[in-house]
């Protein structure tokens, strides 16, 4: 099977500042690709480029064999790219259930009649069934993070971009969310996952991509990547310092 996502020499400037530079990598069908990098390495910008929220200044993005570099964010979502935000951004004046409906009706293109049972299924998966008719703006952080995953899942993605699902939560809460992510992977969804360094090692991602200053530092087997000289330097500083 071909790679689900191929990114080729992607470039993005903010004014004169080069934030993503000649970035190339691929995501294989069904794998979890972990993404690491210090603050400002361009991780979230990379997500914004893949979903189309930001327009690339150079390079191309091939999703499932189709060049989507010029497509609108809405079309990319319909083609199967879902995402979560690091700081959850639910539709605050809509209920939890309605949030999921938006994903199912607009993202997955379902009719509302068919979307309703599907949304209930997602509610169960993210364990938010009791909060179904609550306004999303009134949820606590854990529930917001669950909804973030659920809403992305409701768009029926083939590729899910997860931006730091674990930040700000206790260990038990993180456990709970990880179970949900695992279930999503079992459904055959490929995942690109920005997360804290220790989590990556413990959660057994298939491959690791390390970014620094908008460039690709390393990409490959997690153990190999973490022991490489430049990644060590990036995180711990070089010996001469």
Q: Does 112 bind another protein (CB under 8 A)?
A: yes
Q: Considering the rule CB under 8 A, would residue 108 count as an interface residue with another protein?
A: yes
In the block, which residue shows the tokens 């691929």?
Answer: 26
Q: Residues 18-57 vs another protein: string with x where CB under 8 A? A: ---------------------------------xxx----
* 96 is a contact residue toward another protein (CB under 8 A): no
Residue from 102, 120, 178, 219 touching another protein (CB under 8 A): that is 102
Structure tokens at 15: 């004014």
Q: Does 158 bind another protein (CB under 8 A)?
A: no
Q: Exactly one of 155, 160, 216, 231 binds another protein (CB under 8 A); which one?
A: 155
- 27: three-class secondary structure by DSSP: strand
Tokens of 78: 């319909």
User: Does 151 contact another protein by CB under 8 A?
Assistant: yes
Q: Which two tokens stand for residue 234?
A: 């990036």
Q: CA-to-CA distance for 66 and 86, rounded, in angstroms?
A: 27
Cα gap 99→169, rounded to integer Å: 22
CA-to-CA distance for 106 and 137, rounded, in angstroms? 21
Name the residues that contact another protein, by CB under 8 A: 51-53, 72-74, 77-78, 83, 85, 89-95, 97-98, 101-103, 105-109, 111-112, 116, 133, 151, 155
């Amino acid at each position: 099977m071909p790679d689900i996502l191929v990114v080729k020499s992607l470039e993005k400037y903010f004014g004169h500042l080069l934030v993503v530079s000649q970035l190339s990598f691929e995501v294989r069908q069904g794998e979890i690709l972990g993404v690491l990098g210090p603050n400002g390495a361009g991780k979230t910008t990379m997500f914004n480029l893949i979903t189309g929220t930001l327009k690339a200044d150079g390079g191309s993005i091939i999703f499932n064999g189709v060049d989507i570099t010029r497509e609108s964010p809405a079309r990319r979502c319909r083609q199967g790219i879902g995402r979560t935000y690091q700081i959850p951004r639910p539709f605050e004046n809509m209920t939890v259930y309605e949030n999921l409906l938006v994903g199912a009706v607009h993202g997955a293109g379902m009719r509302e009649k068919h979307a309703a049972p599907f949304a209930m299924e997602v509610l169960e998966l993210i364990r938010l069934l009791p909060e179904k008719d609550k306004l999303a703006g009134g949820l606590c952080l854990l529930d917001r993070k669950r909804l973030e995953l659920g809403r992305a899942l409701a768009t029926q993605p083939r590729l899910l971009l997860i931006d730091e699902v674990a930040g700000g939560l206790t260990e038990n809460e993180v456990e709970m969310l990880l179970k949900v992510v695992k279930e999503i992977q079992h459904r055959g969804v490929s995942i690109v996952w920005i997360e804290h360094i220790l989590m990556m090692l413990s959660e057994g991602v298939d491959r690791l991509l390390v970014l620094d200053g908008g460039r690709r530092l390393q990409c490959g087997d997690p153990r190999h990547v973490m022991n490489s000289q430049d990644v060590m330097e990036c995180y711990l500083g070089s010996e001469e310092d």
